[in-house]
Chains A and B, each alone.
Chain A
């Protein structure tokens, strides 16, 4: 427990640990995935297809069922097209937000 260690540190002189090092960031830079070529954001006047809207508004249960039936093929990075939503270069597999948070393969990245 931290408390006894603290008391020990405060009360006694203790043997020093070797090498004081300054902060070093250990994180590695993971390269960004290869995304499709950039598009300027089109004007707001162009509506998204209603089909796309409907597909994204499916309830989680039916999405789950769909996933059990569908078998999404892995395509090359950057060229992947989501069959349901028409999204290019997006996350493969089930819709990340289908349960409200942003998840990939079980890990939640945003909420």
Chain B
């Protein structure tokens, strides 16, 4: 059993080594002083009673003393359990209802019962807002090799080639299946799919549904899910923590605890297989295109459950989102997701100014406003940080009024609603966080180092995106990996026996009823303020242009903020097993924020989306993924421990 566990984990890490194979690096550099195998034997013994280590790839390597006193779950006596309504048993539990979760659910539902657990309305996902298209090789003059090449170039050569090959090869079939499931994509008069060509692609390969590809895919999948008798959708169920245990040196996932946010009841899901498809974490930043649900819940839960996390430093920003702070009439309600201003405005002659009306782009690039988007993003970020300002200005007002209104009616009307006439005044813009290239480390079958836990979609780091995502590749990645995780999941499910007494193995989360409404309101208010402060720290210190000093400052400030917030909670009587939506979301945001900061600190080069002034160039020897192993952290904060582990400390 132990050998199998190590081999399994070894398979995972072996994949990690393959990640770098063929690229010039030495194994000894990857984990200082240790080969991968040696690492397995010593560093990855997950069994209780042995401390775990936080290992940041290529960077700090801290060891904490073996001081924890873990109880072995195997020896816990389990009294007769109550099979009540608050525990549900399913073969498969799917966390998230975007393209990855639903696609997977529909497939595994042919073999067993499926719970789709989603924190809001089922359609409320990043998928629903992905309005471009999905890329695939569907034209005979196109080729898998070309799609691969475009992906790898965009990814700044940090992609895993095997992953890229798999995704680009299997993409077309996944699209065809979607169509068979009822998704309606635009076609030409000749009946063929109409394929658009997006930036970074050498061929036309973007399949789309008018303007709303994500929404159309979501619609089609949801319809199929709702009609599937084997799938139960639990909406407004917020996932709190994965339920895990140790089997020798391996962590095993048995399900997930969730909070029904409508009834304020905790529901425990026991499942043989769990798929994390919980999407992104845009809301660690103050300005993001992501809907409110994207608070990095899955990444945080996985990290707390001992899953390996990778490449979190690669956060994709869009340079020019409409900055509400610069509008004469501020929106009454904070905009939930950012309004991005198209490149076309710059392409049509729009000029960028700082608030002193200085045209700054020529300082950064001779192409000025026509420089690549990433250069523009960095330049804007640099200006904002240097000048301590909240937004810059994008001015198209020197162009003919009719042209402006006919090319950009959406921007014109949105700005006019808020008192700004873009034919006369510049548009306030600020970068917005859009996509997380990193996440829970996945193998080619969507497997993680936690047995029984699979990942797909934005929450996963599959190696496809590398250091920067190619346009329209994210829906594709979700589709391919959701599908690939199916057979291993089924095999795993069939090999698992139902342990009905398992449900009492973990302490149950509780809602904070006992605190009373006064205290819970106070805590809610504090939580909202702390969230804003965290986002502010992230934007200020972990933005587009980074530096070691700023990242270290972020680390410190986030640590202090988290400690303050937790102290506040506990001083008001909050128990470690208590749950509430805002508090749990913030807990996850803290976790993700720290993962991003740690990863950013670990990369001593600039590559793709990660740019740092201390290491401003690409370093061939650093062309490696950033990998974060879990740890028995000395500072055990509430955000870094599973809820059911809190009582251990």
Contact = CB atoms under 8 A, between A and B. Distances in A.
Contact of A108 (B141, B175, B318): B318
Given A52-B188, A107-B410, A101 B343 contact: yes
A97 B206 contact: yes
The listed residue with most B CB atoms (<10 A of its CB), out of A33, A44, A100, A111, is: A111
Contacts of A85: 188, 194
Contacts of A26: 336
Given A36-B184, A45-B140, A97-B197, 20 more contacts: A2-B529, A20-B521, A22-B264, A23-B581, A25-B120, A25-B292, A27-B336, A38-B179, A38-B184, A39-B187, A44-B140, A49-B188, A101-B132, A103-B343, A106-B341, A108-B340, A108-B342, A108-B343, A111-B373, A111-B434
B210 A89 contact: yes
A48 interface: yes
Contact size class for B? 35 or more
25 contacts: A2-B533, A6-B564, A16-B517, A16-B521, A25-B121, A25-B124, A32-B212, A35-B184, A38-B184, A47-B140, A53-B204, A64-B348, A85-B188, A87-B187, A89-B210, A90-B194, A98-B344, A101-B373, A102-B196, A106-B341, A106-B411, A107-B342, A108-B340, A108-B341, A110-B198
Interface in B593-608: none
A104 interface: yes
A105 B409 CA distance: 5
A14 B518 CA distance: 10
B156 interface: no
A17 B521 contact: yes
Given A87-B188, A88-B194, A105 B343 contact: no
A32 B209 CA distance: 10
A10 B560 CA distance: 13
A76 B345 CA distance: 28
B284 interface: no
B558 to A, nearest CB: 14
Nearest to B567: A10
Contacts, number: 242
The listed residue with most A CB atoms (<10 A of its CB), out of B141, B264, B340, B517, is: B340
Contact of B131 (A48, A52, A98, A102): A102
B564 A10 contact: yes
Interface in B99-133: 119-121, 123-124, 129-133
Given A33-B210, A36-B187, A102-B471, A107 B340 contact: yes
Interface in B164-210: 172, 175-176, 179-180, 182, 184-200, 204, 206, 208-210
A46 B136 CA distance: 16
A40 B179 CA distance: 7
B198 A100 contact: yes
A96 B264 CA distance: 44
Given A86-B188, A101-B343, A56 B196 contact: yes
B536 A2 contact: yes
A48 B341 contact: no
A41 B343 contact: no
B525 interface: yes
Given A23-B261, A23-B581, A110-B132, A102 B187 contact: no
B262 interface: yes
A20 B530 contact: no
Contacts of A48: 139, 141, 188, 190, 192, 195, 204
B622 interface: no
Interface in B134-154: 138-141
Contacts of B36: none
